[in-house]
Chain A
Amino acid sequence: MVEKRNALELREIHKSFYQNQVLKGVSFSVEKGTILGLLGGNGAGKSTLMKIVNGVYRKDSGVILVDGKEIQIQSAQDARKSGIAMVYQELSLVPTLTVVQNLFLNAEPHKSVFRVDEKECLRRTKEAFVEFGIDDIDPNAVTGELPIGKQQLIEIIKAMLKNPHVLILDEPTASLTQREIGLLFDFMEKLKAKGIAIILISHHMQEIVQICDRAVILFNGAVALEDSVSNLTIPMMVEAMVGHKVQETTVERKNPVRYDEEPLLVVKGLTSRDGKVNRADFQIYPGEVVGIAGLMGSGRTELIKCIYGIMKPKEGSVMLKGRNITGQRPWKAIENGVFMIPEDRRKSGIVSIHSVKMNLFMSAWNRFSKHTCIDDKKAEKKAMELISRLDIKTTGTGQELKNLSGGNQQKVVFGKSIFLHPDILMLDDPTVGVDVEAKESICHIVADIADSGSGVLMVSSEFEHLAKVCDRILIMKHGAFTGELRRGTDELSESSLLVAVQS
């Protein structure tokens, strides 16, 4: 045959959830022995599409061809049998088992009904290592003790043992160091040479340009751009990803930032023990909202944790209103005038079995006590006030948080910080997992807090929200700041930020 055969071809894939059309006829293909980069913003349909290919969801209509033959994928097993292997962002390895045990987990060759043929496992592992050119991993090493980059390779080899035609990698570089990414890319080149088709899902456009042959960019459930990467530039990809969205209006502010005053917070050379934060320098002025834009793994979360005291910094200083608060313990933070809203609301933000009131004042019941006794009437009144000010949808102060929607839960968390009125409020991805309306009100709440004279440090993976509310946005990469965009002087928009974090 003259033309190269497609390892995987998708034709007109449609998928709706109830009224919501998520995929509107997506078609593209991957040739054997090539790498395809798949890009798309939140809600573009990227993960839905991959879940359909991998048998987690079922498509409404459309055709999937593997190796030129149409296949029906009803389940994850079907996908595997058809030669599609997927490696998720979260590794599926058992950290306490050895490499060999992990590779053959639940697929062990047996000597008899009860006895696993361990020699055969080891032989096959060694064979695979030779085949894929891996010579620095001990097959009998305990998996959890290996560096994360090697674990990633093992995860991929595990997928490769099933001899797939197509390998899908979901954000494989997110938690890897630069050197490990290099190793992974070398490895992908080897797989490519063996004729495997690879789909690489990534937010790092540099990586796409570096390793992929073609790129497909999804926007709003359809292919917005598909081309050979040699014809593509990062600004072109960003444009396709953002689409022709109307630039959202920025949130209006009542009080200007007081740049003429002393900065509230001065961070100098802050370095965390794990090196994820590496000599970060910045200041926040009274009334200022400072955003941090960075990709996953840039150290943005760790930076906040280092300032708050959840993580201990190794070097550097944090000064709040001229006082040194470097390495404060988190229970001293409120007293010092710092508060943070953590990333994972369910895990670290709320007590879901407690009432709205209990959650609102979790940090500061002592502000209601007189001779150790809590004045519950005063607390009740204050809670009602916060509920109406933040427009929290609840049946009352006594409703348990688990019965509130995500957006309203997050508003309660904001209520906590408004009540404390800290000098510096730090937010870690506050708009994730809440509905559109709540995202909008959260942006306004943030502006309100800054208007009251506090400084806000906001990390967000949703760049449009940063662009909307921040006075200044710092670009974070490998634990330090590589650039700054200022309202008034620079263009603050989702696309300008997307370009900035890629460079």
Chain B
Amino acid sequence: MQKSKNAKNINLSQFIVYISFFIVLIGFSVLLPGKFLTANNILNILRQTAMISVAAVGMTFAITAGQIDLSTGGVTATASLVTALALQKAPAMAAVLAGLCVGLVCGGLNGIILTKCRIPAFIVTLGTSSVYTGIARAMTNLEAVPITNETFTNYFGSGNLGIIPTLFFWTIILTLAGQYLYKKTSFGRAVLAVGGNESAARYSGINADKIKFWSMVICGLAASCAGILYAGRMHGARYTYGENDSMNIIAAVVIGGTSFSGGKGTVLGTLIGSLVIGMLNNGLLLLGLSVNAQMVARGIVIIVAVSLSLREKKND
């Protein structure tokens, strides 16, 4: 009796992300006939969502390890500005590397504070979020930095590879890389073990602090990738990029089936989860809702979707 109940729950939680995907897809297609389900709009959604998808890959690692990163917004903004400033003097490749360095340093700092001072990730990243955002604002004194390097904007933003937007190409590449790391390497298994039961992981010879540190670094790196893609898509950088993305990123991960308390998840689910968020943002806009109404609607829908994904936990 109990076993069958559990089995049912597992199936449900695995499919809930696909169920919400189709509910949102069909819902908006019905509400917006001829507007939502067009090739143009779909490409548009993929472009708009790329930044969230990419950052959410990293967030999947942080949440699976039982941590969280609230500083992604600041990292994204700082990385986009550093990339844009580097492009004024350096070739595209070097600028991208500079942008990634921002993620490496910011994520690393989160990880060090987290493991050395034994402060919960929630508090650490709430603090560093403010620090990183402050740095982004100070860096150019709130000025936007334009990008004129066409190689860069082509490969990391507005260009296409055939008919595929480069933004979508990067989303796929980074999701697959994340999926490989998560599912196929002993590092990925260790992340799951630490998030599932840190004490057991420790007794099993896993260096839990090291795993938490690298999970935060991956999260920072992914947020900086999002910053680079913002810069490419917008042909410039601003301190506001990514500032409202945190909620969307975390929601995408949880809707995607990653356990909010750690130890379980998939990176592919996260991609679907972020597409749900992307369709939501796009659909609400097309419905002609005011920005205020969009915010209210989005908040409600995210809470409903996340609570559906967390149902298994409550029954435990």
Residues of A within 8 A of B (CB): 308, 310, 329-334, 339-340, 342, 347-354, 358, 361-363, 365-366, 368-369, 372-374, 376, 400, 402-403, 416
Contacts and interface: CB of A to CB of B under 8 A. Distances in A.
Given A330-B203, A352-B196, 6 more contacts: A308-B203, A350-B200, A351-B196, A354-B264, A374-B184, A403-B6
Contacts of B204: 362-363, 416
Contact of A373 (B185, B189, B207): B185
A358 B189 contact: yes
Interface in B158-180: 180
B193 A366 contact: no
Nearest to B209: A331
- Greatest chain B CB density within 10 A among A329, A334, A353 is at A353
Nearest to B199: A348
Contacts of B193: 351, 354, 358, 362
B97 interface: no
B189 A365 contact: yes
Given A365-B186, A374-B184, A354 B205 contact: no
Contacts of B186: 365-366, 368-369, 372, 374
B203 A310 contact: yes
Interface of B: 3, 6, 10, 180, 184-186, 189-190, 192-193, 196-197, 199-207, 210, 259, 263-264, 316
Nearest to B2: A403
A340 B205 CA distance: 9
B189 A374 contact: yes
A352 B189 contact: no
21 contacts: A331-B205, A339-B205, A340-B203, A348-B203, A351-B197, A353-B264, A354-B192, A354-B193, A354-B196, A354-B263, A361-B189, A362-B200, A362-B201, A363-B205, A363-B206, A365-B189, A365-B190, A374-B184, A374-B189, A402-B316, A403-B6
Contacts, number: 86
A353 B196 contact: yes
A401 to B, nearest CB: 10
A58 B314 CA distance: 31
A358 B202 contact: no
Nearest to B262: A353
A376 B185 CA distance: 10
A168 B211 CA distance: 47
A220 B92 CA distance: 80
Nearest to A342: B203
A373 B187 CA distance: 10
A349 B185 CA distance: 22
Q: Lowest 5 CB-CB distances: which A-B pairs, in order? A: A365-B186, A351-B196, A331-B207, A363-B204, A334-B205
Nearest to A352: B197
Nearest to A374: B184
A331 B264 CA distance: 22
Contacts of B201: 351, 362
A342 B201 CA distance: 11
B243 to A, nearest CB: 34
Contacts of B205: 330-334, 339, 363
B199 A347 contact: yes
A349 B200 CA distance: 5
A392 to B, nearest CB: 16
A331 B206 CA distance: 5
Contacts of A376: 184
Contacts of A358: 189, 192-193
Contacts of A332: 205
A353 B203 contact: no
B259 to A, nearest CB: 7
Nearest to B197: A351
A124 to B, nearest CB: 40
A416 B204 CA distance: 9
B278 to A, nearest CB: 29
Contacts of A340: 203
Contacts of B210: 331
